[in-house]
């Protein structure tokens, strides 16, 4: 049960991402001003979600790799 929490949270993050970068969730953020790092706010909003998705996916990859190393049998147990 515990090993499904991190991938489940990643799925929730990506569902939130789909909501906040498409029509119903994007409407409050669809504005040009203020500028953030020289980008219009609407473009910054998209870049923020894409960049954060890279970190989430990397975190899930590292977590699953660590989890697979713990559950893999050692060389002596394969006989």
Q: Domain segments of the chain: what residues?
A: 2-70
Whole-structure pTM value = 0.79
Rounded CA-CA distance 69/43 in Å is 40
Predicted local confidence at residue 40, as pLDDT: 94
Predicted local confidence at residue 77, as pLDDT: 56
pLDDT tens for the 79 residues of the chain, in order? 567 898 999 999 999 999 999 989 999 988 889 999 999 999 999 999 999 999 999 999 999 998 888 877 766 555 4
Rounded CA-CA distance 79/68 in Å is 19
Rounded CA-CA distance 16/45 in Å is 13
Q: At 39, which helix (H) or strand (E)?
A: strand 39-40
Predicted local confidence at residue 79, as pLDDT: 47
């Amino acid at each position: 049960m515990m090993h499904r929490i991190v991938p489940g949270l990643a799925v929730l993050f990506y569902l939130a991402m789909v909501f906040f970068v498409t029509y119903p969730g994007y409407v409050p953020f669809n504005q040009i001003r203020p500028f953030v790092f020289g980008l219009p706010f609407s473009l910054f909003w998209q870049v923020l979600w894409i960049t954060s998705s890279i970190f989430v996916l990397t975190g899930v990859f590292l977590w699953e790799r660590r989890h697979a190393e713990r559950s893999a049998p050692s060389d002596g147990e394969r006989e």
